[in-house]
Amino acid sequence: MPTKLDDARVLLARANRILANEGVLDAFGHVSLRHPTDPSRYLLSRSRGPELVQPDDILEFNLDSEPIKPPTARLYSERVIHGEIFKARPEVMAVCHHHAPSILPFCVTGAAMKPVNHLGATMGLRVPLWDSRDEFGNTNLLVVKPEEGASLARALGPNWTVLLRRHGATVGGTSLEECVFRCIYTALNARMQIEALLLGGFEPLNDEEIDLAGGANLRPGPINRAWEYWSVRLDKVEGTHTALPGSSATKRSVPKKTTAKKSAPKRAKNRARRRR
Amino acid sequence: MPTKLDDARVLLARANRILANEGVLDAFGHVSLRHPTDPSRYLLSRSRGPELVQPDDILEFNLDSEPIKPPTARLYSERVIHGEIFKARPEVMAVCHHHAPSILPFCVTGAAMKPVNHLGATMGLRVPLWDSRDEFGNTNLLVVKPEEGASLARALGPNWTVLLRRHGATVGGTSLEECVFRCIYTALNARMQIEALLLGGFEPLNDEEIDLAGGANLRPGPINRAWEYWSVRLDKVEGTHTALPGSSATKRSVPKKTTAKKSAPKRAKNRARRRR
Amino acid sequence: MPTKLDDARVLLARANRILANEGVLDAFGHVSLRHPTDPSRYLLSRSRGPELVQPDDILEFNLDSEPIKPPTARLYSERVIHGEIFKARPEVMAVCHHHAPSILPFCVTGAAMKPVNHLGATMGLRVPLWDSRDEFGNTNLLVVKPEEGASLARALGPNWTVLLRRHGATVGGTSLEECVFRCIYTALNARMQIEALLLGGFEPLNDEEIDLAGGANLRPGPINRAWEYWSVRLDKVEGTHTALPGSSATKRSVPKKTTAKKSAPKRAKNRARRRR
Amino acid sequence: MPTKLDDARVLLARANRILANEGVLDAFGHVSLRHPTDPSRYLLSRSRGPELVQPDDILEFNLDSEPIKPPTARLYSERVIHGEIFKARPEVMAVCHHHAPSILPFCVTGAAMKPVNHLGATMGLRVPLWDSRDEFGNTNLLVVKPEEGASLARALGPNWTVLLRRHGATVGGTSLEECVFRCIYTALNARMQIEALLLGGFEPLNDEEIDLAGGANLRPGPINRAWEYWSVRLDKVEGTHTALPGSSATKRSVPKKTTAKKSAPKRAKNRARRRR
């Protein structure tokens, strides 16, 4: 019987691959999840491109970002980003650090990132910009030292998204699904905002709208709908897509995912059934 | 023997997946079809990402957007968009509400959306912009209350496309295929217009050209040609593509998959029906 | 034994699908080839999305764009574009009419399209802009009447590419492969030029460079290399890709699909022929 | 037992296909590797689209860019780019010449290309712009003569990336993986910089940051992580992807394709080697 930790590993590996499949992460960037039963730990993959991450790649870290077990593989050098935010923000359950191409122009120009539609409102009311030079002078721009991570966490403050000058973004969530949702729709909103900025005369959501629309879209309904969508898209790309529930053609084949493990033969069987 | 309603469900599910495959819809947005035999009802999927919608997901609603049967699944919260437009516009047979990335800059800047080529002319002569704040003040931007839907329907007026400030677009059609065509080519036109706007010195179609070109492209010939194209593209992505009629070269190479075998005749029949 | 006409049909069908696969054509647009043995005729598909065109879809027309045999299917309404250019320009062997998204901003703003790299030089020294309003006033923008086609052919003059105001482009070639090359690299150049225009301070190739670079890239070497590349990309998408000649590593792994079996030798032969 | 040269051929063919798969190369452009045991030679494919290059396509050249064996196939006309840079820069082990769409606007406007994030810093401190007109007047823009290659190599100087006015870019590396990394992240950085330039108020990395961040990202850790990611992406596209090491869930599901069978162990070995 899979434990809560097993399930968390499967979920986090999937979030890695979803964020890669939707263009938020590439060879770099990472996403973490607070440990499901021990809030003083978090889960993060060993160092590898997120599109490739599988449950067995997921390791445990304490909030000082030290691995619980002696590592046998390379670790992400920037994991303090995760540890320091989990430390500073007990309600944060997941953190993603990324370099989505659409947010970089904001990181370079300092133009304020603003929600331009209701889904973008999930980025939060304010998106601060952290400049590593302010406290640390010239660096390689990576957030590697605990004090760098802590400084970034302070810049994030009570918000959900923070931009890193000349580097990327870091995003939190009260759940992994919320964090993924925020990343994807913030990146999409950024592209829309760039074009709106270029056309001029641009009017974003006002604060009350951001608050209302952000809240509305982070309820379970929209979040689950989006997660199912991204998850099926990933399954299609990975060749593990089975029929969707809710269609008599397909109703029979609801995947009982324990992971890929148990379902592989079942998947094949389901597929055969559907074809008859 | 499939009833008209069965056929409508199959067609509407396919329209959902086509609009997703062509990038108009993502996890959100929805498309509806007036009931084929009862004009006081319309068909709409239960709440789920359009790329995933199957015929069994399609439910019936009255024009007040209440489900005919007690629902066992979540419903789209914004279905009044569909009901109120079907109420106000008896000639409208299909409605799509979407957030295509290329139209959002117009929703945010208030720049007027204009046809820049003959296919874009299908958006219609005028594309009004509805601002939820005008009547309802600050909201979560979703169109959920009947009076919000009715207000949007009034803003649409006799036109075919209406933009929703800081939100997206809503598009009608005298058939589902026309509605899909209008959505896709309006989104494409929007991208072209943005680039033309940035380059300056921009000259759109004049009113007579919009009228003539819009009419020419919404005749059965072009609409069926485009529908067949989008439909085959979807089949390819879904792995259900079989050889195209009219090609002896490909006829020989129909893959002997068991999957394709049994469903091929049905698919072919559906296609033939649609083409008439 | 396939005749020259059979071969031409296969080649033209493939050019249709290559241009669709590379994003130049979508549901609309068309490409034609002068008849291989009778210069007073040309070949063009029946009306269907180019991505779907198979050899059996290819029909014969005289230079007045009347079908040689009574048609049993819908025809492209704009085929006079092809007939009138073949009439006016005996050295033109292939014509493509398209609405590639990157060229539309030029059709709308009237900004002059210019080569910005050596491959874009294949568009030719001058790209005139034809405005249907000048001679015909307000129309549906389609080029349907013989006199409209003739007017467009005059606007093309001795050049290889002509833009149609608020509509698209028409492109000729001394061979089908040359025409496809010109379409694809002109569309790519257009995107580069738009961004250069936006950045300002833009310096295109000068006339002598256009002449020299255009000539260099339209020799058999580059054209065949590009055609092989686009052709393999198409084969991959269509699932008919087999191992590439010249690689012992892959020779062993030719998939033993029954589908691929019968058409493989023919495909190989066509490819070999083209490379000479 | 494969020799070092065999391995180099496999690696270089793969680099060709990775650069094509990631959008840096299309039908044109090429990438070379210095001979693994004889520094007075280099390896380069025969003339063919990089997406198609297989180990057997790789030929040997001396630093004057003459083939070691009499060639039986067409050669790239621009191979002096590679030879002259290998001659001038003994520490350069790999060279790529490309026309990535995002760098062309810089080649046309003369706007200075600058790193805007830490990964872009790998382009190097300075990216000179070489204009063929300065020394050679109007040409077809191809770099074909030894003196043209030598002039370009001088323009590159001690740097790692040089832009070719109205043409493209040429990039060196101390290893093939480094060269590929630099190409991909420079092209991505260029797109981000264009958008930042359009938005104005743009602040790139300063020299010390470029130096530190460039150095940090070209260490074995990041380079191997990126190479594994691009390599798996290529395997997925080519249908040769097998389960990833480090995941027990997937280990069991290695596809039993005859195709994959023979090459799988070799692939795994190559991958393992690269990771050390």
pLDDT tens digit string along D196-254?
999 988 899 999 999 999 999 999 999 999 999 999 999 999 988 876 544 433 333 33
Question: What value does the mean pLDDT of chain C take?
Answer: 89
Beta strands C30-34 and A58-62 are unpaired
* Bigger pLDDT: B117 vs B243: B117
Sheet holding B129-130, edge to edge: B58-62, B41-45, B30-34, B94-98, B168-173, B161-164, B129-130
A93-105 average pLDDT score:
98
Taking the CB of residue B222, how many other CB atoms lie within 10 A of it?
22
List of residues 6+ apart from D138 with CB closer than 8 A: C206, C208, C209, C212
The shortest CB-CB distance from C263 to any of B229, B233, B253 is to B253
Closest C-alpha among A162, A167, A116, A119 to residue A141? A167
User: Could you give the angle at the alpha carbon of C170 between the alpha carbons of C168 and C173, nearest 5°?
Assistant: 150
φ, ψ of residue B33 to 5 degrees: the values are: -135, 135
D62-68 LR contacts (CB < 8 Å, sep 24+): D63/D87, D64/D146, D65/D146, D65/D149, D68/D41
Buried/exposed code over B164-186 (b: 16+ C-beta within 10 A; e: otherwise): bbbbbbbbbbebbbbbbbbbbbb
Q: Which amino acid is at C256?
A: K
Residue contact A168–D248, C-beta within 8 A: no
Give the pTM.
0.90
Residue with tokens 């830490």: D118
Q: Is the pLDDT of residue D102 over 50?
A: yes
Tokens of C101: 């998204």
Cβ atoms within 10 A of the Cβ of A239, count? 11
**What's the gap between Cα A15 and its chain centre?**
7
DSSP string over B139-208 = --S---SHHHHHHHHHHHTT-SEEEETTTEEEEEESSHHHHHHHHHHHHHHHHHHHHHHHH-------HH
pLDDT at A261: 35
> Across residues A259-272, what is the average pLDDT?
34
D193 contact residues in C (CB cutoff 8 A): none
Determine the average pLDDT of the residues in C203-225.
97
| Contact assignment for B166 to A228 by CB distance below 8 Å | no
Task: Catalytic residue, from C60, C66, C78, C195: name it.
Answer: C78
Whether residue B125 contacts residue B210, with contact meaning beta carbons closer than 8 Å, is answered with yes
Out of D200, D209, D216, the one facing A138 most closely (by C-beta) is D209
Number of neighbours of residue D8 by Cβ within 10 angstroms? 20
Confidence of residue B248 (pLDDT cuts 50, 70, 90): very low
> What is the mean pLDDT of the segment spanning A113-126?
98
Spatial neighbors of D35 by CB under 8 A, at least 6 apart, are: D5, D8, D41, D42, D43, D60
- For D239-266, b/e burial (b = at least 16 CB within 10 A) is ebbbbbbbbebbeebeeeeebbeebeee
Distance, in angstroms, between A223 CA and closest chain B CA?
10
Tokens, residue A79: 């994991």
pLDDT digits (tens, 9 = 90+) for B162-213: 999 999 999 999 999 999 999 999 999 999 999 999 998 889 999 999 999 9
> Nearest residue on chain C to B254, judged by CA atoms?
C259
Could you tell me which chains touch chain C, where touching means 3 or more CB pairs under 8 A? Answer: B, D
DSSP H or E segment with residue D138 = none
Nearest CA in chain C to B230: C27
Looking at the DSSP bridge assignments, the partners of residue C44 are: C59
pLDDT on residue C201: 81
The single-letter DSSP state of residue D117 is: S
Residue A49 has pLDDT above 70, yes or no: yes
Q: Which two tokens stand for residue B224?
A: 């069926």
Distance (Å) from the alpha carbon of B163 to chain C's nearest alpha carbon: 22
**CA B162 to each of CA A205, B120, B174, B179, D193: distance values in angstroms, whole numbers, following the listed order:** 19, 14, 16, 13, 34
pLDDT at A120: 98
* Closest residue on chain A to B258 (Cα): A275
Sheet with A129-130: strands ordered across: A58-62, A41-45, A30-34, A94-98, A168-173, A161-164, A129-130
- Closest by Cα among A143, A32, A153, A33 to A78: A143
Nearest CA in chain D to A136: D209
Terminal CA-CA length for chain A: 32
Beta strand pairing status for B161-164 and B58-62?
unpaired
C227 touches C177 (CB < 8 A):
yes
Amino acid symbol at A272: A
Please indicate whether, in this complex, the C-beta atoms of D108 and C208 are within 8 angstroms of each other.
no
First CA to last CA across chain D, in angstroms? 20
- Cβ atoms of D34 and D251 within 8 Å: the answer is no
Kindly determine whether residue D117 and residue A46, on different chains, have CB atoms separated by under 8 Å.
no
pLDDT of residue C97 exceeding 50, the answer is yes
pLDDT-derived band at A2 (thresholds 50, 70, 90) equals: confident
Instruction: Give me the pLDDT at residue A118, please.
Output: 98
Residue A87, SS3? helix
What pLDDT score does D202 carry?
A: 86
**Separation between Cα atoms, residue B232 and residue B229, nearest integer Å:** 5
pLDDT tens digits, residue range B150-165?
A: 999 999 999 999 999 9
Q: What percent of chain D has pLDDT over 70?
A: 88
Cβ atoms of B61 and B41 closer than 8 Å? yes
> Under an 8 Å CB criterion, which residues of D touch A?
116-119, 121, 188, 191-193, 195-196, 198-206, 208-209, 212-213, 215-217, 221-222, 225-226, 228-230, 232-233, 236, 244, 246-250, 252-253
- Quick one: angle between helices D176-199 and C176-199, nearest 10? 60
Neighbours of chain B (3+ CB pairs under 8 A): A, C
pLDDT digits 0-9 by tens, C67-92: 999 999 999 999 999 999 999 999 99
Q: Return the active site residues of D.
A: 78
In angstroms, the Cα distances linking D176 to D63, D92, D119, D172, D225 are: 17, 9, 17, 9, 14
In the predicted model, is pLDDT for residue D99 greater than 70?
A: yes
Contacts of B100 in chain C (CB under 8 A): none
For residue B141, the chain A residues in CB contact (below 8 A) are 117-118, 121, 205, 209, 212-213
**How far apart (Å, rounded) are the C-alpha atoms in residues B41 and B60?**
7
Q: What are residue B31's DSSP bridge partners? A: B96
